A and B are shown apart, each in its own frame.
Chain A
Amino acid sequence: MIGDKLKQLDNVVIPVFLTHLKKAGSFLICFLYCFSYSLMAQTVSISGTVINATGERIEGVSVVLKGTSQATRTGFSGEFELQIRENQTDTLSFSHLGYASQEIVLKGRKLPLTVVLEAKQGTLEEIIVIGYGEQTKRNVTGAISKVEMADTENLPNMNIGEAIRGRVAGVQFTSSGAAGQNGSILIRGPRSLSASNEPLIVLDGVFFNGGLLDINPNDIQSMEILKDASAAAIYGSRAANGVILITSKKGSSEKPRIALNTYHGFSQPSYLIKLLTPERYIKKNLDARGILGLEADPSKIEDYLAVNEAENYRLGKTIDPWKEATQPGRMNSIDLSISARSARTNYYISGSFIKEQGILLNNQHERISFRTNLETSITSWLKTGVNATYIKRDGSGVLPDLGGLVGASPYGTWYREDGSVPQYAVEAENGSAHPLWNAALSSNRVFAHNIFANFFTIIEAPFLKGLSYRVNYSPNVRFLPNYSYRRQDPYLTSNLSFARKINTNSYDWVLENILTFKRQLNVNHYVDLTLMQGRNHRENETTSANSNQLVTDVLGWNNLGLGTTLTNTSGGDKTDGVSYMFRTNYNFKKRYLATFTVRRDGSSVFAENNKYATFPSGSLAWIISDETFLSDSRILDLLKIRLSYGAVGNQAIRPYQSISVLGTTRYVFSDGGASSLGFFPNNMGNSDLKWETTYAANLGLDFELLKGRVGGTVELYNMDTKDLLVTRSLPTMTGYASVWTNLGQINNKGIEITLNTINVRKQKFEWRTNFTFSANRNKIVHLYGSDTDGDGKEDDDLGNRWFIGQPITTYFDYVQDGIYQVDDEIPSGFVPGDVRLKDLNDNGIIDADDRTIIGHGGQPKYRWGISNDLVYGPVTLSVFVNAMQGWISNLDLLIPPGDNRQMNFLDYGWWTPENRSNVRPSTLYKNRFGHKFYLSRDFVRIQDVTLSYNVPNLILEKIRVSNMRVSLSGKNLYTFTDWVGQDPESGSVDRTSLYPMPRTITLGLNMSF
């Protein structure tokens, strides 16, 4: 039937159209006829099934109506359906990873279609989401990495960042490991010294200001990571740190698809920092006393311990602090979605619930999320829809005090006989708070509500084919109640109860008008134009109400009026932005490609005369393999070379930094007087504050060999960041500790390699490898351009530890040269067991000039990840290894206590006259030079191992399930490293952030009907 209609179109419309075009020769007339033609055209539904050579149905095949933005994907059983306006030249393009793309001309075809895709040959026709649009991979000219969420859907990833970790060259994700932590993503290393280095997240085309945890990974179809300036410049001022485009799922088949994804698992600490055991603790006490010249008789140890320690020692009662402060981790997740598309409407509705119990006592996180994506065609040229999500997260739970835990004596009294927790575990040793005291008395409620919606309308201009207009309005409301209460400790005579309510509300919106025009002008020329104009707004307000010494415990935080002293604080801020963008994509003969983008942004956070900046970029690509001289190659399937250059900006600073604002404080004159408010200058405003701009060049090479058996990408980049937004430390003589300023220039150079290989492909067995590698070199090129010492070289900023020619994170310190031993010649004032420092300038004394650059950190020199998938029939085993190498860091846990208090610390050995360590000083070492202790942060980690089983079709048909997969996976299984801090990847150096990284085992089930 459709064939008839198409024929009819052929016979009637085209001749008329062409005749008029010839006759008038005028563009206006062309408009008119396009318009009249479109009114005549009717919508028809094209449906079909996509299978492979062996007849198996293929899911997720991208189906695009050529020359338009109309597209869909095949559903679970390989079926698709697409509403199109009838046209004489309708051609559908089918593409899928690992298969050759195919184009089907609709004219004369019978419906439903059956399309057979051949395995391999390139991924050029894969759909890639770019800013404000989509492209086939063929046409992409920038450095864009795509992450298919299907690759990680068997993993218990609560956070979308975990799906990226190590899988995309040049991208790093770190988190503390605690349940409910957002973590952070870094693309191509840090560029900014002190402004945010977090990439921009764009969810379904709209800036997303929530946390990474505010997105349910199961709602995500794919993520595209825009790494170079050309790709990212379309987001202008916000794109300096790269952009992550997240696309949520849509309905893909007429038959509603119900999908269930659930996993259940448990976790335990993968590593716990090593504290002194009871035996080592006793030895530490004796050793220290020996060095101090005090009596150190092991039989009199009870005299040396605190009174209650001695009693516990006598009774043989010891405590393993980690055991008391941890709990078995658990995670349970269930996620249900329903999706479908009908003739006019496409929907995806999901609900998910996840509950995680962290491995530290009281750490838990619960997330409930709902999403509705709805899109409907009102007429053939008018489409409207909404993508909306509501997420509620509950991160309540008062954690143990980890700083106190590190210091907790193994002979402390953790519990009284009635089970209650004393304020201090060692009597009179208040240096180490009882790690559980506050947790035992306190409760809290920490919720995050996030409503994020994008309302959009798309008009396909009726009068000009290829012209469409889209308007987005996207409000985001976040409400963050944070309430806490500590009840009275009945063992204390004073009332230390305390209640607080902090309410933070955020309201953001984005409004964008987007005009696109796409047209294959003739066989050789294709052009695609995008124009955007938008405004965005962010506002936050916080109210904090505090009350202490409450008369009763029964109402918790709910009636702060029951307290003795009540205090309130509140604050707020607003940020506004304006943006204009123009982009043109052009290709000639489908193999010479060019993109040009320019964006102009205005942001309120900058100084009066520097609100606006313009960010242009351009890129070129050449698909060499399509040239005639290579098209016959049997080895080479694809060779594409890309070159881009452009500017992106960074505005990631808090508002009001260009203005000097006042802080407030209070004082009470006279006895029993009233509270007086005081004002003082809080910051040095910078009235010249402006955008930070990164100029980036990127050379990319995409290749595929041997019928898709080997494929990959190599990217080389060079980025110069100018007018860096930094908080620059100031000499305190100025009155201020630091100021936000623009300065100097930072350079980042790097290489990123992604390699996908199919090593073995047999009848039932396949072995695939995905390898990513990246190296980044970062250095400071300019700072202030001053040469005050007249040595002909630009001044370094010693105060900030910024050195011309060195990376941002440079450690400038003394060089350690062993430990002074008893028999050594020891300078006066030093004692055996002290660290010996190198006298670099050989002047006989250790002075400030003996400090030098001793290493670099902040980011690794190399990152690599390798994942191997072994598939045998329905069984797949995936092993993913992640590594970062070539960095050091100070580890403050290595600093000896310097005294002999009744406290514990990291057990990394210590010097004694008998154990003549030449690396570790004595526990009594007093560090008069304030030097630090450094370790390598290199690590190789078995990040994910998954074994999954796809239930065969034969069984599925019997139970009327269209797909079912069971998987067993282990996360963070083992780390090879010399780092003795908590985790080399997150790299926390002190007592304050020692959350242990969990090792998680989960059992998962995915099924759909």
Chain B
Amino acid sequence: MKRHRFKSLLAFGLVMSVVACSDDYLKEVPVGSLSADNVFSSVTGFEGALVSLHEHSRDELAGDDLYRYFDMNTGTDIATGAQQFEDYETYLTQFTPASERTWDWVYSSLLRTSNFIIANAERADLAHIWANEEQKNAIIAEAKFFRAYGHNILATLYGGVPIISEVYSAPKTDFIRSSRQQVYEFVADDLEFASAWLPLTVSAANEGRIVKAAADHLLAEVYISLGRYDDAVQAASNVINSGLYRLMSERFGVNKDKPGDVFADLFAEGNLNRSSGNLESIYVWQYEERTPGGQGTRGGNQLVRGWLPFIQQLRDPSGSSGMVLADTVHRGVGAIRPSTYFLYDLWRDNWDNDIRNSQYNIRRTYYYNNPASSYFGQVANFYVPSDTMQVIYPGLIKVEGKPFFGDVGSGRTAKDFIVYRLAETYLLRAEAYLRKGDLDNAALDINTVRMRANAKPINASDVDIDYILDERARELIAEEPRRRTLMRMGMLVERVKKYNMKEKTRNSITEKHNLYPIPQKAIDANFSATLEQNPGYN
């Protein structure tokens, strides 16, 4: 009986002890996610992290609906917004999303990830993974390019902002604004490093990656912002004289043998990357229709939706539907309508000769294409009550491409987008020359761009800042973020009052709008220090 008792006690104890545990049991190792430790154990991991910076950057256009990117063009001198920036007083306040979209995007993607890469690349305990200093610095250079790219956007829009140069691992609520000058200087520092270590070119398979010329191009702009005009000329010249780029002057690429002109070739789908023969493009956002990662958050490039007229709503003179969507009749919604200034005034003296105003680049004639309309095949007049501000107006062919997934109703394409192009480098250098008083060289650079377009050359005496803005509009509309160009020059308010087509827009813009308001959300969240609001925003 005793033995029996002993056995039952033993069994009892065993059951209890079987489940006793060690602390390893509670150690947490993610089973479905990677951490910095396992990714940054090789150079490949750093290359992977850089990939996400490219995605973040493209997200200015691909990560939002008709706002973040389009806000950079609506309500300016070149274009009017259907809703966006129609009324500055209601559209852009510290409480409205307009003030937050760019702020949030830059801080929570470009700056976060670039600092993450830079901080890890500089870790002493990872020194062994690098083959040499060049390899490491090339990685840091590309990350610094994007850190500069982001800070430059912020400084241009908001003025002085908090500079972010580290990775935060704990909450921080006491950010303070640096001056705009300090931000630009920080940007210049990053870009100088980037320019020193980025490659001159990348292989065809890596097109879209950042090259030295991209850093130099942006440096030219930032030096202008800093008033360092000689440095700006030098930075632009580094691109222009590199021997790698030239303004395209002959037909090339996919439409080479079709009617058209070389300016149209620059933007034909398939022609945007360097390997297609386009030796003007420096930095290009990449889109692909079917490959995962080629579309961005919103699924494609939405330029056609934003820029083109809401032609689908066009009625024929009898009041019936005059248009149906088709391969070449995109679903624009007329969110951005180019202004009379751009569509007519800018071409006045070169209407027929400037190829940038050719039928291959601006679509000024539409034909009713609805088979059910009795006006089928006839020219669509700008018929009232069809709204010529939104439903029918001349469209920019440079934004067009093949409908995304063949869906004519999508308002999207999978066409790449040129961020930096040599023509702009010339115009940046022209601006730098102008600002330092060298009108002859400014005119030379402008004329280089104009001659390619078959426009009449100008005299040095014609060059002023307005002329540069006119030329930028002719050459770069729908490429440059026009608002930022105007804001960095301090010309936004003046030009909007002069050229915007809507009375409400002209009347609602005031001096304060040369800067964006700091989002109230950011001020509220930063409760341990004061983020000063920009003047005029209550």
Contacts and interface: CB of A to CB of B under 8 A. Distances in A.
Interface string B342-386: 000000000000000000000000000000000000000000010
Nearest to A783: B527
Interface stretch (B70-78, B227-235, B285-293): B285-293
A825 B319 CA distance: 42
B528 A799 contact: no
B411 to A, nearest CB: 8
B27 A604 contact: yes
A669 B209 CA distance: 7
Interface in A464-479: 469, 471
B315 interface: yes
A670 B206 contact: yes
B262 interface: no
A671 B35 contact: no
Interface stretch (B92-100, B125-133, B438-446, B479-487): B92-100
Contact of A533 (B16, B91, B407, B538): B16
A413 interface: no
Given A660-B169, A661-B34, A737-B108, A731 B522 contact: yes
Interface stretch (B44-52, B418-426, B463-471, B494-502): B44-52
B416 A667 contact: no
A730 B33 contact: no
B293 A676 contact: yes
Interface string A597-637: 00000111100100100000000000000000000000000
A728 interface: yes
Interface stretch (A153-161, A488-496, A744-752, A996-1004): A488-496
A229 interface: no
A532 B173 CA distance: 45
Nearest to B161: A733
A554 interface: no
Interface string B501-529: 00000001000000000001111111111
B270 interface: yes
B267 to A, nearest CB: 14
B171 A671 contact: no
Nearest to B538: A847
Given A495-B406, A656-B30, A799-B521, A670 B290 contact: no
Contacts of A927: 90, 96
Interface stretch (A173-181, A192-200, A566-574, A694-702): A566-574
Contacts of A786: 528
A682 interface: yes
Nearest to B103: A732
Contact of A492 (B23, B93, B171, B407): B407
Interface stretch (B53-61, B180-188, B448-456): B53-61
Nearest to A300: B385
Contacts of A658: 28
B522 A680 contact: no
Interface string B194-213: 00000000001111110000
Contact of A736 (B50, B108, B310, B333): B108
A799 B293 contact: no
B209 A680 contact: no
Contact of A735 (B168, B173, B385): B168
A744 B317 CA distance: 68
B522 A733 contact: yes
A734 B111 CA distance: 9
Nearest to A673: B205
Nearest to A612: B26
B312 interface: yes
Nearest to B110: A735
Contact of B93 (A303, A564, A664, A928): A928
A551 B171 CA distance: 50
Nearest to A843: B538
Given A303-B319, A492-B409, A682-B33, A670 B204 contact: yes
Interface in B134-192: 162, 164, 167-175
Contact of A788 (B31, B58, B527, B538): B527
Given A605-B28, A672-B288, A678-B54, A732 B207 contact: no
Interface stretch (A267-275, A337-345, A581-589, A790-798): A790-798
B116 interface: yes
A302 B28 CA distance: 65
B19 A668 contact: no
A604 B27 CA distance: 6
A668 B293 contact: yes
Given A668-B288, A679-B48, A611 B23 contact: yes
Nearest to A571: B32
B294 interface: yes
A513 interface: yes
Nearest to B35: A661
B124 interface: no
Given A578-B26, A735-B112, A670 B407 contact: no
Given A534-B19, A733-B107, A847-B538, A671 B527 contact: no
A848 B50 CA distance: 39
Given A492-B409, A845-B538, A684 B526 contact: no
A892 to B, nearest CB: 14
Nearest to A669: B208
A732 B108 contact: yes
B5 A576 contact: no
B168 A684 contact: yes
B135 to A, nearest CB: 18
A428 interface: yes
Given A662-B33, A681-B116, A799-B524, A669 B292 contact: no
Given A680-B113, A684-B170, A660 B292 contact: no
A928 B95 contact: yes
Contacts of B54: 667, 669, 678
A532 B486 CA distance: 72
A725 interface: no
Interface string A370-404: 00000000000000000000000000000000000
Contacts of A533: 16, 19-20
B51 A678 contact: yes
Contact of B310 (A428, A797, A845): A428
A53 to B, nearest CB: 48
A661 B207 CA distance: 29
A316 interface: no
Given A565-B290, A728-B171, A677 B23 contact: no
Interface string B263-301: 000000010010110000000001110111110000000
Nearest to A531: B16
A492 B409 CA distance: 9
Q: Which of A423, A534, A574, A667 has the most CB of B within 10 A?
A: A667
Given A679-B49, A733-B162, A928 B527 contact: no
B277 to A, nearest CB: 12
Nearest to A682: B33
B28 A732 contact: no
Interface in A668-723: 668-682, 684-687
20 contacts: A513-B16, A576-B25, A661-B30, A664-B52, A665-B55, A666-B292, A666-B294, A669-B209, A670-B275, A674-B291, A676-B293, A678-B49, A681-B36, A728-B171, A731-B525, A829-B90, A847-B538, A848-B520, A928-B90, A931-B95
Interface of A: 35-36, 302-303, 306-308, 310, 423, 427-428, 430, 459, 462-463, 469, 471, 492-496, 511, 513, 533-535, 541, 549, 564-565, 567, 570-574, 576-578, 602-605, 608, 611, 655-656, 658-682, 684-687, 728-737, 739, 741, 786, 788, 795-800, 829, 845-848, 899, 926-931
Given A680-B49, A682-B33, A800-B525, 15 more contacts: A428-B313, A471-B15, A494-B410, A511-B19, A656-B33, A662-B39, A673-B207, A676-B51, A679-B49, A730-B525, A735-B168, A737-B108, A788-B174, A797-B527, A848-B533
Q: Ordered nearest first, which 5 A-B pairs have the shortest CB separation? A: A666-B293, A799-B525, A735-B112, A678-B52, A678-B51
